[in-house]
């Protein structure tokens, strides 16, 4: 394990990902963790992240200098670099000489461990106020910039390295190489974190946790739950049962994809609950978005819990015990919620006769240590279909929140058709990976005049909402080619009855959200 010590910037996750891209396993720990505890984890190397503080600030988070005496290879980045410089007797000045953004770095020791084989002038990404003006004794200065005399240093004997910039961001052109040089050459780590090894390791861990027990897993159609289920299935076979609730708000072909393709690829035991009638009844007459979401969420939990209880009851009748619940929690969720360890118990209340008042499940979270791209790789390794592995995000409330107005079966059918056309055309144009997602929205309460064939029509508009994004927190509208837009428009207005207008949403997020409701 390589430990990434988080000094409170947004960079720690990125660093951990880059280390994993170098096929070395990494974990993030808070800077408040005592050094003894870090060392107890027997890390192969430690990376100190950047952070927003100045090493001179009153409350600046520090690092116990014992870390540098432990014989563990350390790489300091940005703030971590300055902490290292200060702790080891170098000089860090609060000069006000700021550097932000792309900067040219001059490598002054081309044969150094970190920089060997990279150009002597390279672009790096800087973001700092303080600067190191003298390296600690015993250290060699390996790079500088126009304003910062010590932009990188190393002490090969003690295996301590540091750079002032952020090698983890893509704007640092040779950043990944420099990080790999630290891991492979500086720390002497052999890359071994491969998709195959992740699968093996997780399968063994799941077997150890579940033993001879049984588990259930809720499938949403999304990539996380699918990969989690496939991993658990690989580990315990048909002692896993998956439950998929079809709320009738899915897109065309989605339920079939889970029912057929997913089962074909994994051989998983699947129970599909068709609850569309129930959802539509509950949604009748409702057009307020918040209310729709609440109703869908509430019904979903009820249906899922009921299916769960039935399964547990059936297993119980057969003398079996279902006590594990599989969830597709990812590493960023774990880090963001404080990085707690150990297993959490969730309570599931229900009122099915003959069962205890509340059941307790132990959670199985095989993706807890993985990033999204690793999850997709594992999915591929497990043989899941491309359509599932590279699926674009689709909201839990489904098409229910893409109909502006009341949700009815007829409207769902219209929207499903229009959406299928858009997806088909985007795929045919090879744009699936380029766009983040493309909701299609039916303005069910709006009608506009049109002329189709010989007659006047009074139909509904649909809105195309193609966006590019990295994390859905912010987004921009995608500039789709005009000929593609033209094809989509022609097809929708020709093929979908009652839709006579296709419009394009050209709003970024913020101010607009991705979904319309």
Residues 42/85, Cβ–Cβ less than 8 Å: no
- DSSP strand pairing (91-93 vs 131-134): antiparallel
Pick between residue 184 and residue 394 the one whose CB is nearest to ligand XMP: 394
Nearest to 406 by CA among 243, 263, 281, 316: 281
How far is 90 from 87, CA to CA, in rounded Å?
7
How far is 287 from 339, CA to CA, in rounded Å?
39
- Residue 273 falls in which region: left (phi positive, over 0), alpha (psi -120 to 50) or beta: beta
Position among 308, 437, 478, 493 found at the interface with ligand XMP (CB under 6 A): 437
Pick between residue 269 and residue 509 the one whose CB is nearest to ligand XMP: 509
Question: Residue 356: CA atoms inside 13 Å, Cβ hemisphere, count?
Answer: 8
Told to check if 397 binds ligand XMP by CB under 6 A, we report yes
For residue 349, indicate whether it is catalytic. no
Told to check if 509 binds ligand XMP by CB under 6 A, we report yes
Nearest to 153 by CA among 87, 66, 219: 87
Residues 128, 166, 181, 247: which is the catalytic one? 166
Cβ at position 258, least distance to ligand XMP in Å: 16
Cβ at position 381, least distance to ligand XMP in Å: 25
Q: Which two tokens stand for residue 510?
A: 């913020």
- N- to C-terminal Cα distance for the chain? 43
138 is in an annotated binding site: no
Cβ at position 484, least distance to ligand XMP in Å: 21
Reduce the DSSP state of residue 128 to 3 states and report it. strand
Told to check if 393 binds ligand XMP by CB under 6 A, we report yes
Phi, psi of 152 (to 5 degrees): -165, 145
Pick between residue 234 and residue 376 the one whose CB is nearest to ligand XMP: 376
Q: Is the dihedral of CA 170, 173, 177, 182 positive or negative?
A: negative
237 is in an annotated binding site: no
Please report, as residue ranges, which positions from 239 to 298 form the binding site for ligand XMP (by CB under 6 A). 293
List of E strands, 381-468: 403-404, 440-443, 448-452, 455-464, 467-468
DSSP for 91-116?
EEE-----EEEEEEEEES-TTSTTTT
208 is in an annotated binding site: no
Query: How many residues lie near ligand XMP (CB under 6 A)?
Result: 11
Position among 396, 447, 487, 505 found at the interface with ligand XMP (CB under 6 A): 396
Pick between residue 362 and residue 505 the one whose CB is nearest to ligand XMP: 505
For residue 166, indicate whether it is catalytic. yes
Told to check if 237 binds ligand XMP by CB under 6 A, we report no
221 is in an annotated binding site: yes
Residues 27, 78, 132, 247: which is the catalytic one? 78
- Cross-strand pairs, 107: 143
Residues 232/216, Cβ–Cβ less than 8 Å: no
Cβ at position 477, least distance to ligand XMP in Å: 12
List of E strands, 288-416: 322-326, 345-349, 358-364, 403-404
Cβ at position 234, least distance to ligand XMP in Å: 26
Residues 21, 99, 168, 425: which is the catalytic one? 168
49 is in an annotated binding site: no
Cβ at position 517, least distance to ligand XMP in Å: 8
Told to check if 327 binds ligand XMP by CB under 6 A, we report no
**DSSP annotation of 185:** I
53 is in an annotated binding site: no
Told to check if 185 binds ligand XMP by CB under 6 A, we report no
Pick between residue 125 and residue 300 the one whose CB is nearest to ligand XMP: 300
Pick between residue 158 and residue 293 the one whose CB is nearest to ligand XMP: 293
How far is 261 from 215, CA to CA, in rounded Å?
21
Position among 43, 136, 328, 395 found at the interface with ligand XMP (CB under 6 A): 395
Cβ at position 509, least distance to ligand XMP in Å: 5
Pick between residue 379 and residue 439 the one whose CB is nearest to ligand XMP: 439
Helices marked H in 211-288 — which ranges? 223-236, 254-256, 263-266, 276-283
Residues 193/25, Cβ–Cβ less than 8 Å: yes
For residue 78, indicate whether it is catalytic. yes
Pick between residue 498 and residue 515 the one whose CB is nearest to ligand XMP: 515
Reduce the DSSP state of residue 456 to 3 states and report it. strand
Told to check if 320 binds ligand XMP by CB under 6 A, we report no
Please report, as residue ranges, which positions from 438 to 477 form the binding site for ligand XMP (by CB under 6 A). 472
Residues 456/449, Cβ–Cβ less than 8 Å: yes
498 is in an annotated binding site: no
Per-residue x/- track, 143-182, ligand XMP (CB under 6 A): ----------------------------------------
Cβ at position 473, least distance to ligand XMP in Å: 8
Residues 90/101, Cβ–Cβ less than 8 Å: no
Helices marked H in 41-147 — which ranges? 79-87
Q: Please enumerate, by residue number, every residue annotated as part of a binding site for ATP.
A: 220-226
Instruction: Give contact residues for ligand XMP (rule: CB under 6 A).
Output: 293, 393, 395-397, 437, 472, 509, 513-515
Catalytic annotation, residues: 78, 166, 168
Q: Please enumerate, by residue number, every residue annotated as part of a binding site.
A: 220-226
């Amino acid at each position: 394990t390589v430990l990434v010590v988080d000094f409170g910037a947004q960079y720690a996750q990125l660093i951990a990902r880059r280390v994993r891209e170098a096929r070395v396993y990494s974990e993030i720990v808070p800077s408040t963790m005592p050094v003894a505890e870090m060392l107890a984890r027997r890390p192969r190397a430690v990376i100190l992240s950047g952070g927003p503080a100045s090493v001179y600030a009153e409350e600046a988070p520090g690092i116990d200098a014992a870390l540098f005496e432990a014989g563990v290879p350390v790489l300091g980045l940005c703030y971590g670099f300055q902490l290292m410089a200060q702790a080891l007797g170098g000089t860090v000045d609060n000069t006000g000489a700021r550097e932000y953004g792309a900067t040219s770095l001059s490598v002054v020791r081309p044969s150094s461990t970190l920089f060997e084989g990279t150009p002597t002038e390279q672009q790096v990404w800087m973001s700092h106020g303080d600067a190191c003006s003298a390296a600690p004794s015993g250290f060699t200065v390996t790079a500088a910039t126009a304003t910062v005399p010590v932009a990188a240093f190393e002490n090969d004997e003690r295996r301590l390295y540091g750079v002032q910039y952020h090698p983890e961001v893509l704007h640092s052109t040779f950043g990944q190489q420099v990080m790999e040089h630290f891991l492979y050459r500086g720390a002497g780590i052999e890359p071994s974190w491969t998709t195959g090894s992740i699968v093996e390791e997780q399968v063994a861990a799941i077997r150890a946790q579940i033993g001879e027990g049984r588990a259930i897993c809720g499938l949403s159609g999304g990539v996380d739950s699918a990969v989690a289920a496939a991993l658990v299935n690989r580990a315990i076979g048909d002692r896993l049962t998956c439950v998929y609730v079809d709320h009738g708000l899915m897109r065309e072909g989605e339920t079939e994809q889970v029912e057929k393709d997913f089962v074909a690829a994994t051989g998983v035991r699947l129970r599909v609950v068709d609850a569309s009638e129930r959802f539509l009844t509950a949604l009748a007459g409702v057009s307020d978005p918040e209310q729709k979401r609440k109703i869908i969420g509430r019904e979903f939990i009820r249906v899922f819990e009921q299916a769960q209880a039935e399964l547990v009851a059936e297993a119980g009748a057969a003398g079996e015990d279902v006590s594990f619940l599989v969830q597709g929690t990812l590493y960023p969720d774990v880090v963001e919620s404080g990085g707690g360890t150990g297993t959490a118990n969730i309570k599931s209340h229900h009122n099915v006769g003959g069962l205890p008042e509340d059941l307790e499940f132990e959670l199985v979270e095989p993706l807890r240590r993985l990033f999204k791209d690793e999850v997709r790789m594992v999915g591929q390794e497990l043989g899941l279909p491309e359509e599932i592995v590279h699926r674009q995000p689709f909201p839990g409330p489904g098409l229910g929140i893409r109909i502006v107005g009341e949700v009815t079966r007829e409207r769902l059918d219209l929207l499903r058709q229009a959406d299928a056309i858009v997806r088909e055309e985007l795929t045919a144009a090879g744009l699936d990976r380029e766009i983040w997602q493309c909701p299609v929205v039916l303005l069910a309460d709006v009608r506009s005049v049109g002329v189709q064939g010989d007659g006047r029509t009074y139909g509904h508009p649909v809105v195309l909402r193609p966006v590019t994004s990295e994390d859905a927190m912010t987004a921009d509208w995608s500039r789709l080619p005009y000929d593609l837009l033209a094809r989509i428009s022609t097809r929708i207005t020709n093929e979908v009855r009652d839709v006579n207008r296709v419009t394009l949403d050209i709003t970024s997020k913020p101010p607009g959200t991705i979904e319309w409701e």
